[in-house]
Structure 1
Amino acid sequence: MTAARWRAWYAPVAVVMAVAEVLLVLLGTHTGLPLVLVWLPAVTGLAMAVTGFRAAAAGTDGPLRAFWRRVALAMGGVLAAGVSQTVDVLTVPNTGMPPLGARTLLLYLIGTVLAIAALLRLPGGGRSWRQLTTAVLDVAVVAVTGGIAASQYVDWFVDRFGVSAQAWWLNIAMMAIAVAGVVVVVKIMSARQSPVPRAALWWLAPIGLAGPLSTVLMTLLKPWPHLNGSAAVLPFVGLCGALAAHAQHRHAATARPRRVVGLAGHRRGTAVPLVATVLVTVLLVVVRLRTGHLSTVQVTGTALLLLLVVARQAIALAENGTLLRTVARQAMHDELTGLVSRRWFTAAVAAAEGPHTVVLLDLKEFREINDSLGPAAGDALLIAFGDRLTALAGQDAVVARLGGDEFGVLLPGTDRSGPLLAVNTEPLHAAGHDVLVDLSIGVAEGDTGLYRQAEIALREAAAGGIRLVRYDASLERRLTQRATVAAELRRALANGEFHLLYQPIVELPHGRMTGVESLIRWTRPDGRTVPPTEFIPVAEDTGLIVELGAWIIDAVCAQAAAWQRRHGPDALTSIAVNVSARQLVDPALPDIVAAALARHRVPAHRLTIEITETAVFGGGRALATVTALAQLGVSIALDDFGTGHSSLGLLRTCPVNAIKVDKSFVDGLGGTPQQEAIVTALTGIAETMGLRTVAEGVETADQARRLFELGYRHAQGFLFARPLPPAAIDALLAQPHPAAA
């Protein structure tokens, strides 16, 4: 039974039955009605609750299914009692007592006992001894409160219905129903965890009021013998049951993970003594004002209630103190590794006296490891790394997980960081995998300000691709310079201080220009040109390379469109753009490229994206981005091939169309066979795999001639042309046979 069918059928019928009963009671106080008429909504409403509970059981499993089955069985008993009472109304004469036979009372008792048993068997989650004691005291508080209220109810009941056997059986049945409601309330207020949604339990709680309320309505409806207090109440019992089942269906539909209730959940239980005390106070005030005195049961019960409340609150305060200490400890420790947290670590560094050492360690490429091996292996790797770091640091060290894949160690004294450098010399065991991690390490030694200094050293190590950096004053100056360059970069991008040059790529041997590579340049307002080696690393470190790269891609596509309009669609076979490793981990890059191509109406195959081997060697998100770019139809070229994480397997896993042989290999041409070996091998591999090769950094005619002899058909370098402005490329394209040299 789906939640949609539930909402379309069960709940509306239960609501209609409750509304119909109210209208029948109001109509019955003005005119006569058939005796059976007011019982039809009562029986139908109960049937809706039974069907709803069965549907709730069918949509769950485990303890939850067992609970709803038991509640459905209990409500089935109440339904049978309702049908039996309908028969009693039609067959038993009204002698002052409501028409209730022994069979009906027994069925009500059976249904109530089954409901109480179902609620008592409902699991409530693990507890400490204080929480268990508090729960017991909660039950005792509710029981005493119920006893005080019951004493007044019994007096009222005897005054109305006498002390006959039938009256006492009726009283027992009604009190049992009230006890069921009390058990629900106690379950709600004292349970820390329950598989049943709290909203469903709250809808079940008012059912306990049905018994006492029906007896009250019996007296109020005596002048109209065709009306009945039970018939007036039972449709609302069915409605509450139907809504409880509806709450279960909604909870199952949202499928949200159940949150373990901690301190807040325990505090909610403090409403039990508060509500109980308020209710007893109101009851005693009313009784005192009406009768002028209180009974012995009421006075004794009130004194016992106060003692229970005081004891309960004392234990609750002690438990709250324990929970607060637990929360404080959790705030100072990492949940996964058990190491101290960043907050604890920074406080320990600030409080350290005398010379000491701070070491910060960052696991390189942890995201790629986590993506490829899975989160379980990633967590296991962090735990194993923390354990090894703790063992190497020694007992007098403070070891912390600072967040993500970053760790910190505080050591007394100086020259203590040596053993920590061996933390990654052996593979770490992580969920069945042996993983050898690479690290960036920042070290600071001295008396004060070491945490910030170690952070600067770690940042320098990560930015420069260096394994270990020890802090010194020059790092501070470089950091300040980097921050200045970063601020100027943002201003320059906003003010349009960047422009592009284009270096021709030619076809050997005659040097005909077939494509260009775009190169970024920055000219400041004072006329000084900032070389890319100064600002590109800063742009990478600050993340500004993503915004700058998007501008480059758009500018290149705009220029390609302009050349295409002026010189025809076949003037250049490709125009290349360099894309950094930071850009490749940006999932928006393929969309940026696609939008630029569409905006300027440039065919995708005219654009070449140049990437480095290092950027995609680890796979993961970077390789996924390259694959997405290739699916757009753009060409992919491996730049500076042979100088990074060289792997011939990369030519199979990465969708490459061309490789660009680094200048360092071209410089060896004309020397020994060993010097030419790589250049010779690469052209053979590329030809076999159907890849285009471009030789970079060609500066002499002899190099160009030898490359052609080895099978190379494309090259670029100062021999042919330096990077040129767009107007100079226009002039070359305007020639009948555009040559770069």
Structure 2
Amino acid sequence: MALPRWRSWFVPIATLLAVTEVILIMVGQHVAFHRLLVWIPAVGGVAIAVGAFIATAGGAPSGSPLDRFWRRVAVAMGAVFIGAASQTVDVAVVPFNGMPPLGSRTLLCYVIGTLLAIIALLRLPGGGRTWRQLTTAVLDLAVVAVTAGVAASEYLGWAVDKFDGRASAWWLNLAMVAIGVAGVTVVVKIMSASRSPAARTALWWLAPIGIAGPLSVILMTAFRPWPHLNGSAAVLAFVGLFGALAGNAQQRAYAGHGATSSRVAHPAVYRRGAAIPLIATGLTSLLVGTVYLRTGHLTTIQVAGTTLLLLLVVTRQAFALGENATLLETVAHQAMHDELTGLYSRRSFTTAVAGAEGPHTVALIDLKDFRAINDSLGPAAGDALLTEYAARLTRLAGDRAVVARLGGDEFGLLLPGAPEQTATIVDPLVAAGDEPLSAAGHEVVVEVSIGIADGPDMYRRAEIALREAGAHTDARVVRWDASLERHVNQRATIAADLRRALHAGEFHMLYQPIVALPHGLITGVESLIRWTRADGRTISPADFVPVAEETGLILELGEWIIDTVCAQAAEWRRRYGADALDSVGVNVSARQLLDPGLPERVAATLARHGLPAEQLTVEITETAVFGGGRALATVQALSELGVHIALDDFGTGHSSLGLLRTCPVDVIKVDKSFVDGLNGTLHQEAIAGAIADIAEKMELGTVAEGVETPEQARRLYELGYRRAQGFLFARPMTVAAIDELLDPGVGMAA
């Protein structure tokens, strides 16, 4: 978020005014000029600061603590502006010889501005604190107050002497000391606040403003030889500059973090608060030592103040040590526990597994489809679901188990005993998956995948078992055995060979016809990838496609498939005419749908081969788009190209009918399980018939998959299906075999 242009000029203008003031002071020591000249950049600088604070408040949400803070600071600086204008009038109309005049009206404005600034700082939220932290903060203020008192006693004596002992000097310098306290208050606020809505950099820019009062008195005495110069004017120009810089720092924080974000202090920030007593003690010791060397004695105030300061520092450090011990305990607990659920963390769990003595079993648990639930119901519901499941897991596992959240939606159990002895925990855990959990007002049923292992290296073995359980929808619990290890090694070998095979040309495409019922003429094809190694060994797609998904090679492999299929479809179109095939189908994985560049590549491929978009059908699964988000957006972009979208394996996913409302589907491919059930109960036929009826009413095409008998084909036709695919008509075929079918007059009778 860029700052408005008129706000961006605050700092340059304030800088120009401060530089102008410095130049006037340097020139004024050699050349006399009108005494009001130095007040122009001084009053202008304060006005700029007021404008910067008002603009900064306007960038925060109305009524927020940040808005109120900057408006209060703006009012305080407004009082200083009135005081500066009043002092300018005093200088213009009151004759003086020596020290410039400073009327009671002017002094009152400065004091009011100082008090308002202190109130604004004290009311700025500093974040939640323990009672020890609050006590330590109070002691910090007391340390600063005693240090300031010791310094003020010496300052007031010096200042009154410079003012020739006049009584009014007491009031003037008391006011200047109060203004100095404002600056110290800012410093203490910055160093002790654990959390503040105001940008820390902005507060640091405000801090030097507090020394403006005492510094102006010192400069007044220094400028006595040049009555046209003024100490107040010299510092007010820089008050404006520091105010503009503070506002600018806060506005940049808006741009980087948002106006509503709180600035969380790094853990080191609070530790920097320990510098307060050290600095205060050091400064007081330096002051007292200097006074003693110069005068040979100390005043009662200086001795009493130094003694009290030492007592406060000792007390403060005692409280700080107690707070540090509590903080270390908290950090240690957080390092070993999960923040959301309160369960042990992955680090604690792996440590417990490594130190387990005697027979133990590791059970790793993954919540199926948690990402889809989290995306559809929102992160709050997702967090509530994890918390509820953690409570269920703790209750079922019992006191002897180590229960951990390992990250995301994965949990771990370390159970005493061998796997067969832990069935009393694992079996109820699986059964409980059918019971709904409450998640932010939603009742959610969550299935789980569980991997179990014991013996040496049981954590790694349980991970292998869990991966296997997650890869098969019909297996909730998988126990590790040696065959799983061999399977993992096989998958690793496949992963290593995949890229080499792609570049070596070991992949090829087969095409399974889609026919029209009842006569069986070919109307389309579905493309299917096959892998034949150089040694003649065939690798099943069921083995290499999941590995390609895991490794990410599915993106490169999928791009090759789409290019090959589009090239072949364009060749059939040129050879046999535009009406030879309605469409050529290509399967697109869930991983590919998460690639935002897929629609652009498909469009480029279609254009390169001269294939109309409507002759390409992209086949997707219900699970790939159930969660919506990026995958659904990709499907919508493909549909907008004119590509047909087919919903594969319809009826086996999460919410098939719901997807028909949200996903731009053109064709429903009914899963083989419904076709197999046609010769079973009336319920099976009722479901298959209902799907066909819904598709007809929604003007969607249907394809029945897995047709293997003439009886199935005839019954499907009676139920309203007009397209089918299966071994009854043809197995996946080569390009040459498809060419024979596309010759005029050749068909496949059912």
Q: Aligned partners of 2:661 and 2:252: how far apart in 1?
A: 50
Task: Name which of structure 1's ranges 201-210 and 697-706 shifts more when overlaid on structure 2.
Answer: 697-706
Residue equivalent to 2:559: 550
SS in 2 for 1:196: coil
Residue equivalent to 2:583: 574
SS in 1 for 2:487: helix
C-alpha deviations, 1:214-233, integer Å up to 9, x for none?
22222222222222222222
* 1:244 aligned residue (235, 239, 246): 246
Q: Aligned partners of 2:496 and 2:167: how far apart in 1?
A: 92
Residue equivalent to 2:85: 83
Residue equivalent to 2:226: 224
Equivalent AA in structure 1 for residue 298 of structure 2? S
| Contact preservation (8 Å) 2:375, 2:627 | no
Q: 1:407 to 1:711 in 2, by over 3 A?
A: closer
1:484 paired to 2:493: yes
Task: Name which of structure 1's ranges 547-556 and 304-313 shifts more when overlaid on structure 2.
Answer: 304-313
| Contact preservation (8 Å) 1:504, 1:740 | no
Q: Aligned partners of 1:132 and 1:470: how far apart in 2?
A: 54
| Contact preservation (8 Å) 1:635, 1:656 | yes
Q: 1:645 to 1:263 in 2, by over 3 A?
A: closer
Q: 1:585, CA displacement in angstroms? A: 5.0
SS in 1 for 2:581: coil
SS in 2 for 1:275: helix
Q: 1:322, CA displacement in angstroms? A: 1.9
Q: 1:680 to 1:263 in 2, by over 3 A?
A: closer
* 2:185 aligned residue (183, 186, 192): 183
Q: 1:106 to 1:686 in 2, by over 3 A?
A: closer
Task: Name which of structure 1's ranges 561-570 and 699-708 shifts more when overlaid on structure 2.
Answer: 699-708
> For 1:367-382, what aligned pairs fall within 5 Å after superposition?
367-382=371-386
Q: 1:329, CA displacement in angstroms? A: 0.8
Q: 1:679 to 1:32 in 2, by over 3 A?
A: closer
| Contact preservation (8 Å) 2:50, 2:77 | yes
C-alpha deviations, 1:311-331, integer Å up to 9, x for none?
434433332232122112112
Residue equivalent to 1:98: 100
Q: 1:648 to 1:285 in 2, by over 3 A?
A: closer
Q: 1:649 to 1:209 in 2, by over 3 A?
A: closer
* 2:358 aligned residue (332, 351, 354): 354
* 1:295 aligned residue (278, 293, 298): 298
SS in 1 for 2:433: coil
SS in 1 for 2:319: helix
| Contact preservation (8 Å) 2:100, 2:227 | no
Residue equivalent to 1:123: 125
Residue equivalent to 2:701: 692
Give the total of aligned pairs.
737
* 2:458 aligned residue (427, 450, 457): 450
Q: 1:495 to 1:309 in 2, by over 3 A?
A: farther
| Contact preservation (8 Å) 1:424, 1:436 | yes
Q: Aligned partners of 1:107 and 1:718: how far apart in 2?
A: 95
SS in 2 for 1:42: helix
Q: Aligned partners of 1:80 and 1:634: how far apart in 2?
A: 72
SS in 2 for 1:423: helix
Compute the TM-score of the two structures, normalised by the length of structure 1: 0.89
Task: Name which of structure 1's ranges 370-379 and 56-65 shifts more when overlaid on structure 2.
Answer: 56-65
> For 1:144-159, what aligned pairs fall within 5 Å after superposition?
144-159=146-161
Q: 1:342, CA displacement in angstroms? A: 1.2
Q: Aligned partners of 1:70 and 1:678: how far apart in 2?
A: 70
Q: Aligned partners of 2:42 and 2:683: how far apart in 1?
A: 98
Q: 1:313 to 1:673 in 2, by over 3 A?
A: closer
* 2:509 aligned residue (500, 508, 526): 500
Q: 1:572 to 1:248 in 2, by over 3 A?
A: same
> For 1:36-55, what aligned pairs fall within 5 Å after superposition?
36-55=36-55
| Contact preservation (8 Å) 2:648, 2:668 | yes
Equivalent AA in structure 1 for residue 468 of structure 2? E
Q: Aligned partners of 2:79 and 2:329: how far apart in 1?
A: 48
| Contact preservation (8 Å) 1:130, 1:319 | yes
Q: 1:440, CA displacement in angstroms? A: 0.8
Equivalent AA in structure 2 for residue 491 of structure 1? R
Residue equivalent to 2:531: 522
Q: 1:498, CA displacement in angstroms? A: 0.7
Over aligned residue pairs, what C-alpha RMSD do you find?
A: 3.4
Q: 1:619 to 1:24 in 2, by over 3 A?
A: closer
1:386 paired to 2:390: yes
Task: Name which of structure 1's ranges 606-615 and 455-464 shifts more when overlaid on structure 2.
Answer: 606-615
Q: 1:350, CA displacement in angstroms? A: 1.9
> For 1:610-689, what aligned pairs fall within 5 Å after superposition?
610-613=619-622, 615=624, 622-641=631-650, 647=656, 651=660, 654-661=663-670, 686-689=695-698
Q: Aligned partners of 2:37 and 2:687: how far apart in 1?
A: 99
Equivalent AA in structure 2 for residue 15 of structure 1? T
| Contact preservation (8 Å) 2:549, 2:591 | yes
Residue equivalent to 1:723: 732
Q: 1:738 to 1:223 in 2, by over 3 A?
A: farther
Equivalent AA in structure 1 for residue 47 of structure 2? A
Residue equivalent to 1:538: 547
Q: 1:213 to 1:561 in 2, by over 3 A?
A: same
1:108 paired to 2:104: no
> For 1:707-722, what aligned pairs fall within 5 Å after superposition?
713-717=722-726, 721-722=730-731
Q: Aligned partners of 2:30 and 2:599: how far apart in 1?
A: 77
Equivalent AA in structure 2 for residue 533 of structure 1? A
Equivalent AA in structure 2 for residue 393 of structure 1? A
Q: 1:706 to 1:438 in 2, by over 3 A?
A: closer
C-alpha deviations, 1:280-308, integer Å up to 9, x for none?
4655676677x374634556655554554
Equivalent AA in structure 2 for residue 14 of structure 1? A
SS in 2 for 1:424: helix
1:425 paired to 2:434: yes
SS in 2 for 1:139: helix
Q: 1:122 to 1:610 in 2, by over 3 A?
A: closer
Gaps of 5+ in 2: none
Q: 1:524, CA displacement in angstroms? A: 0.6
1:603 paired to 2:607: no
| Contact preservation (8 Å) 1:263, 1:320 | no
| Contact preservation (8 Å) 1:512, 1:737 | no
Q: Aligned partners of 1:721 and 1:187: how far apart in 2?
A: 80
Q: 1:718, CA displacement in angstroms? A: 5.1
Q: 1:461, CA displacement in angstroms? A: 0.7
Residue equivalent to 2:208: 206
Q: Aligned partners of 2:149 and 2:68: how far apart in 1?
A: 31
